[in-house]
Amino acid sequence: MKSKFIAGLLIALVLVVGLSVEGFAMYTTDVQISRDFVFGTSALNPDLYVYNISTGQYDVISGFLDMFYSQPRLGGKRIVYSRMNGGSSDIYLFDLETRTETLLTGAYPAIQYEADIFRSKVVYSECANGVTKDIYVHKINTNNRTAIFSCPRSQALTNIRIHGNYVVWFCDEELYLHDLATNAQTIINNSINPTPLAMGLNVLEHSPAVFGDYVVWIEEMPDTMSYEVFLYEISSGTLTRLTNTADNECMPSICVTQQGTPRIVWSNASNGGNLVYQNVNGVQFDPIPLETDCWHPAILGKWIVWCNYPSVTMKMFDFSTQVVTQIN
C-alpha cells in the first residue's frame, strides 16, 4: 500500500507542477478545452498543441513558450499566460485564431503570474513590492483592474481560477472563494482540516476548478493516506466529499448541465491513470475502461479530453457517440 501511494503521488507531482520557480514552470504537461479549441502543452518542449473543434484542424505552434512561464490557461479562443521580461514578468493574451499576442499588463510593471481567463476578465497574481502577493481582476475591454486579495510573500498563493463571477485560489492550505458581484469572500475548506502527509505536497496538488455554482478540488487526507476529491456548492454552502478510498485522485475538472447539475472527471493516479467520471446522478464509473494513462482530463458539454504522459498524445471522448478520437 505504501509503495502504491508513493508511486501515484510522484506521478501526480510531475504531471501537475513540472519544475517550478515562484509561480513559473519549466514546461508542464496540460490539456484544456473550450467550446472552440482543445489546447495542450508538454513537459518536454516549449510547443503549443492546438485543435480547432469546429474545423477539425490540428497544428503545433513550435517554440512558443519561454523557459520560465506560468501555465497557459484557455478561455474561448484565447489563452492567457505570463512571460519573463528580464527580472520581471507580464501577462499576455494570445488569440488562437489570429495567432496574435497582446501585452495586457504593460502599464503595471511588476512580477505577474498564475493567470486565468473567463471571457473579458483575467485574474492573476502580482508581487510588486517584494512584500505581498496580490490577486487582481483585469478587464480586457477597459484595461482596468481591481485588487481582491493580498497575502505575505512567504505564503503560497496558487491555483487561481475564474468562472463567471467566481474566483477561487489557495493561500497555503486555505481555499478562498470570491464573488465579484458582491465582493464577498470566504474560506470554503476550513471544516476539512486535513493533516499534511509525509511528502508534504498538498499545496501543489489541490488543482481546484470552478464552474457555475460549484467548486471541485483535491485534499490530502490522513484517514486514507491519499488524495480525495471534494465538491462545494456555492449557493447552498454544501461541502461534499466525493471519494473515500486509498487511491490517489488528482486533476479534477467540472462542468454543469443546463439544468445546473455538476458533471466531474478526474484521474486515478494509483490505477495507472484511469479516468473516474461522476455523472448527474452522482454515480462514479470509468467511462472509457480500455483507456489508461489518462492525465489532465477536462470536461465540457459532450466531451472529455485528456493526454497521455509524457508524449502529450491528446485524445477526445464523445459521450454522444461513445467514440475516442486521437487528436494528434
What pLDDT, on the 0 to 100 scale, is given for residue 127? 92
Residue with cell 519544475: 19
Of the candidates 277, 309, 278, the one whose C-alpha atom is nearest the C-alpha of residue 294 is 309
Beta strand extents in 64-223 (DSSP E only): 69-75, 78-85, 88-95, 100-103, 111-118, 121-127, 132-139, 144-152, 157-163, 166-171, 174-179, 185-187, 209-211, 214-221
What pLDDT, on the 0 to 100 scale, is given for residue 270? 87
Report how many helices (DSSP H) and strands (DSSP E) the chain contains, helices first: 2, 30
Within its chain, how far is the Cα of 182 from the centroid? 24
Q: What is the DSSP string of 9-34?
A: HHHHHHHHH-SEETTEES---EEEE-
What pLDDT, on the 0 to 100 scale, is given for residue 15? 44
Predicted structure pTM score: 0.90
All structural domains of the chain, each given as residue ranges with its CATH number in brackets, are 2-326 (2.120.10.30)
The predicted-structure confidence for 218-251, as pLDDT tens digits, reads as follows 988 877 778 899 999 999 999 999 999 888 889 9
Pairing of strands 174-179, 58-61: unpaired
Sheet holding 295-300, edge to edge: 295-300, 303-308, 313-318, 323-326
Cross-strand bridge partners of residue 230: 217, 241
What is the amino acid identity at position 293?
A: D
What pLDDT, on the 0 to 100 scale, is given for residue 10? 44
Q: Which parts of the chain register pLDDT below 50? A: 1-24, 197-204
Of the candidates 114, 121, 219, the one whose C-alpha atom is nearest the C-alpha of residue 175 is 219
